[in-house]
Chains A and B, each alone.
Chain A
Amino acid sequence: GQQVMQIPQYQHVQEGEDFTTYCNSSTTLSNIQWYKQRPGGHPVFLIQLVKSGEVKKQKRLTFQFGEAKKNSSLHITATQTTDVGTYFCAGDSGTYKYIFGTGTRLKVLA
Chain B
Amino acid sequence: SQTIHQWPATLVQPVGSPLSLECTVEGTSNPNLYWYRQAAGRGLQLLFYSVGIGQISSEVPQNLSASRPQDRQFILSSKKLLLSDSGFYLCAWSVPRYEQYFGPGTRLTVT
Contacts and interface: CB of A to CB of B under 8 A. Distances in A.
Interface residues of A, number: 21
B99 A97 contact: no
A43 B98 CA distance: 15
Interface of A: 30-31, 33, 35, 42-45, 48, 88, 90, 92, 96-103, 105
B44 A88 contact: yes
Q: Chain B interface secondary structure, helix, strand, loop or mixed?
A: strand
25 contacts: A31-B97, A33-B100, A35-B100, A42-B90, A42-B104, A42-B105, A43-B102, A45-B100, A48-B99, A88-B43, A88-B44, A90-B44, A96-B32, A96-B51, A96-B96, A96-B97, A97-B46, A97-B49, A97-B57, A100-B36, A100-B44, A100-B46, A101-B43, A103-B42, A103-B43
A99 B100 CA distance: 12
Sorting the interface of chain B by its residue count into under 10, 10 to 19, 20 to 34 or 35 or more gives: 20 to 34
B44 A43 contact: yes
A42 B88 CA distance: 9
A71 to B, nearest CB: 17
Contacts of A88: 43-44
Given A48-B98, A97-B59, 11 more contacts: A33-B99, A42-B105, A43-B90, A45-B101, A88-B44, A96-B51, A96-B97, A97-B46, A97-B57, A100-B36, A100-B44
B74 interface: no
Interface centre among B96, B97, B103 (most CB of A within 10 A): B97
Interface centre among A42, A48, A101 (most CB of B within 10 A): A42
B22 to A, nearest CB: 16
Nearest 4 Cβ contacts at the A-B interface: A45-B99, A100-B44, A42-B102, A102-B43
B46 A44 contact: no
A42 B34 contact: no
